[in-house]
Structure 1
Amino acid sequence: MAHPRVDEGTVLRSTLDTADEQYRTNRAANLALLEQLEEQLDLARAGGGERYQQRHRDRGRLLARERLELLLDRDSAFLELSPLAAWGTEFTVGASLVTGIGVVSGVECVVIAHESTVRGGAMNPWSLKKSLRALEIARINRLPVINLVESGGADLPTQSELFVPAGKIFHDLTELSAMGVPTIALVFGNSTAGGAYVPGMCDYAVLVDQQAKVFLGGPPLVKMATGEDADDEELGGARMHSRVSGLADHFAVDERDAIRLGRRIVSELNWRKLGPGPSLPADEPRYDPDELLGIAPADIRVPFDPREVLARVVDGSRFGEYKPEYGTSLVTGWASVHGYPVGVLANARGVLFSEEAKKAAEFIQLANQVDTPLVFLQNTTGYMVGKDYEQGGIIKDGSKMINAVTNSTVPHITINTASSFGAGNYGMSGRAYDPRLMFAWVGAKLAVMGAAQLAGVMSIVGKAAAAASGRPFDQDADDARRRAIEAQIDAESHSFFVTARLYDDGLLDPRDTRTALGIALSAAHSGPIEGRRGFGVFRM
């Protein structure tokens, strides 16, 4: 029997030809990119490498990902965040930290685990950014936080980039507590100096016997500052903090005991989601998600129909399109993912005209009226330029769309499926517009504009400057400059470069889009889902 809220007339009909040469080209290109991605993920999973992993094991310690595996509910989903943080920098891929959203004792939590095989888990500038983003995700989605602590503190050679902004970690932990969002620290090793405040500021602290070392100053510093002789255990051991200082709420005899206690604490939180649960049938799409590999473009200049994506992502391939014949470069409409109702905004042909901007602004307001989260599928080169469009009010209309995105209070989840250039990135809820979670397909690009366009603009500016000053224009030098600029922008818009800087929360295999959206929507519903009823001034 059909669900009363499901209209079978909205089922998308795919016209994808899997024998088409473009499909085969796309698929081959995406499989090659996914191979490269897997190589980098393997580096992140390897932490400090086999030598340091073995040294860690020889000390009787579990690796960070082994601790996570024991902490999370068996066979539950784990959405890792920013796994390629610090890629392309002097620091190890992953930034000596593992973060993500996982289920512990039936409760969705943000988990932050130090990778102690990398410089003892010391925090570098990228680890700080990654940690702060994880805490932000916990705050905006109302998710409890579990810290798996074993860190040597700040990476001292980069302390000038760490000391001041690192105070935000303590700020965010205490802010979460004030919001009634539980924070938990499971301390497996060093948590010294500023790091000692992590268990101090969490609502619950579990310390492992003979391993946890929580103190503001270690034996050498104490000796130097006060002349006092003291050992690690006296200053900051689990037994002392459990029996004397009271910092520890639970004394764990070993790591597995600490994880057991952590799971018990979560089970006793009496945690309740404030958002509604799934309300629509969560049936699988009618088309194979594997075909997304042939839809995601090998060349981002080649357009594709986002309805073909939606047919392989949303429940039952159902999509109730809104204004289908107006502003056709932007597809908008209603669907559900894993039973959660959503509004979708998906770029169809890259450029946003005035019609698309006005359509988007209206649709976003409608979604807020009915408290429905929004999914943005970016594939945009930005807002249209030119004399006719400027005179037609493209700035006013683009401003309406950006106003609506800015002031919308329903959860936004954004995925860059191909390109995200110029102010189109803003209008389609890019990083600066605080989407709850944001991902990119592995072949996607992000920049102020495409590499060729940017190099061409610089060339035109150079020619104009030469003409204005009466200098001869050096075409050879200009060609060399154009090639250099194109190479630079190509490198800086590459998905690995972008995700390494945390401009998104991770790269997706297109086939995993539905799963990632489902986890993200479930996480967002941990908090209330409430749209804005009043917006700012729209330029008419």
Structure 2
Amino acid sequence: MPRLPTSLDPASPEYTARRTAMLDKIAALDAEHAKALAGGGESAAERHRRRGKLLARERVELLLDPDTPFLELSPLAAWGSDYPVGASMVTGVGVVSGVECVITANDPTVRGGASNPWTLKKALRAHEIARANRLPCISLVESGGADLPSQKDVFIPGGALFRDLTRLSAAGIPTVAVVFGNSTAGGAYVPGMSDHTIMVKERSKVFLGGPPLVRMATGEESDDESLGGAEMHARTSGLADCLALDEPDALRHARRVIARLNWRKAHPDPPPAQPPEHPVGELLGIVPEDLKTPFDPREVIARIVDASDFDEFKPLYGASLVTGWAALHGYPVGVLANAQGVLFSAESQKAAQFIQLANQRDLPLIFLHNTTGYMVGSRYEQGGIIKHGAMMINAVANSTVPHLSVLMGASYGAGHYGMCGRAYDPRFLFAWPSARSAVMGSQPLAGVLSIVARASAAAKGRPYDEEADAGLRAMVEAQIDAESLPAFLSGRLYDDGVIDPRDTRTVLGLCLSAIHTAPVEGARGGFGVFRM
């Protein structure tokens, strides 16, 4: 088999420096992830426990099959905003009664689980993943509804949350709601629009308007139980399909619901696969600290694909983009990985053909990003870089096989689009701590602004202020550097999480298993016009 060799020297000073830099970045991100894990803080967690309640992640853990992984999604949502990191919600993909499911869980230790704008975006992304991959969706509900001070950013777009639940159901994708506490106002529609609803005796409260609102609106005096308690909904309104004794019992009932779905994956699981021949831990020392320094993506591929076995496609043509066929955790895939950063016409045409071939063979595609974009300059413009870049983007946009993207290093400009960035609907997109993404790098961007300002001054016959120019360049570079960080981008849900490079094979394997719940089918000639 064509196993990939390696020239990586783990004893070299270069490797050691890169590994140290990556570990520092991982430690910094771990500190940010810890903020999401802390939720509303220790005092809020203790107060929650004194009420006899489980924390959000404890609920998820009890729901999952024992000793199975949970692929948490968007853990850094709201990073850099005025809202707590994690956006008061846990989302992810896990196995329940042998079935891969999307799970969302409100964190009631953060403002009672109220939904802010980032909570909404995070929940909608989870629903998108459930729909695209045909994964049953389980909502673990305890929320006071919209965070009222943020209502202007939550109320109108928030209707999509309930729309999604009905559309999932209409598509035959099961939805299950387990209500542990308040599910108030618009939140009442989560159990109301789910296929199956489980409530906890003396704990669940589901009503469109609580007693204060009812009193204000109608003058009626009522109490929580008669207005929206679990027993009332189980015995009178019929909203509850099951009345659980306590939280563990509710989760047991949820597992039984999933077990009775008669749910089948579109594709069988593959046989056990051989691990890579090269140590996965060596992924820490591959990406340089300075992203202008190129690295060989084959070193990455060799440490994530089965048996380091890789059949390269057109290895002598368009060499700054590596393409080829492999398997990952037994699933056959196509891989596109940037080598020298810049995409030329040859690379673009090579990618378009490769993507078409993957669609002919119904093979998922993995995009490994390290690109500064498409090449510029008169020679390349005259050579057709626009139409050839458009050809690659056309192929990516109209490909119907699942795409998985990992940002390893740079992901700039239209190269981000051609390598299936967020706007091109990859089924999952993750970033390494070393990743950067923006219109372009900070120094080129600041330089462009400087050149334009200098030309403007010359056209007006004015002297150019060099000191002001230096200050402007420094300010712009600092801004772009900050806005290119993986935590910043992840906080805005431009990816599904920032991962330790050593976890890449595992994360991609979990994603591949999830996407094979739905049919994997390529486009058969359904591409736009390729300009030749």
Q: TM-score, normalised by structure 1?
A: 0.98
Match of 1:157 in 2: 149
Residue 420 of structure 1: SS of its match in structure 2?
A: strand
Equivalences for residues 115-514 of structure 1 within 5 A = 115-278=107-270, 282-514=273-505
Match of 1:4 in 2: none
- CA displacement 1:253-302 (0-9 Å, x = unmatched): 110110000000000000001134326x5110000000000112222111
Match of 1:533 in 2: 524
In 2, Cα distance between equivalents of 1:157 and 1:227:
25
- CA displacement 1:312-339 (0-9 Å, x = unmatched): 1000000000000000000000001100
In 1, Cα distance between equivalents of 2:449 and 2:221:
65
- CA displacement 1:400-451 (0-9 Å, x = unmatched): 0000000000000000000100000000000000000000001100100000
Equivalences for residues 15-94 of structure 1 within 5 A = 15-94=7-86
Amino acid at match of 2:508: L
Displacement of 1:224 in angstroms is: 1.6
In 2, Cα distance between equivalents of 1:99 and 1:299:
33
- CA displacement 1:475-523 (0-9 Å, x = unmatched): 0000000000000000000111010000000001000000000000000
- Conserved? CA contact 1:115–1:121, under 8 Å: yes
Root-mean-square deviation (CA, aligned residues, Å) is 0.7
Residue 400 of structure 2: SS of its match in structure 1?
A: coil
Displacement of 1:532 in angstroms is: 0.2
Displacement of 1:303 in angstroms is: 1.1
Displacement of 1:21 in angstroms is: 1.8
Residue 448 of structure 2: SS of its match in structure 1?
A: helix
2:84 maps to 1:102: no
In 1, Cα distance between equivalents of 2:22 and 2:107:
30
Residue 508 of structure 1: SS of its match in structure 2?
A: coil
Amino acid at match of 2:401: V
In 1, Cα distance between equivalents of 2:288 and 2:269:
34
Displacement of 1:33 in angstroms is: 0.8
- CA displacement 1:110-149 (0-9 Å, x = unmatched): 0000010000000001111111001101111111100000
Q: TM-score, normalised by structure 2?
A: 0.99
Unaligned runs of 5+ in 1: 1-7
Residue 298 of structure 2: SS of its match in structure 1?
A: helix
Identical aligned residues as a percent: 65
Amino acid at match of 1:59: R
Unaligned runs of 5+ in 2: none
Match of 1:3 in 2: none
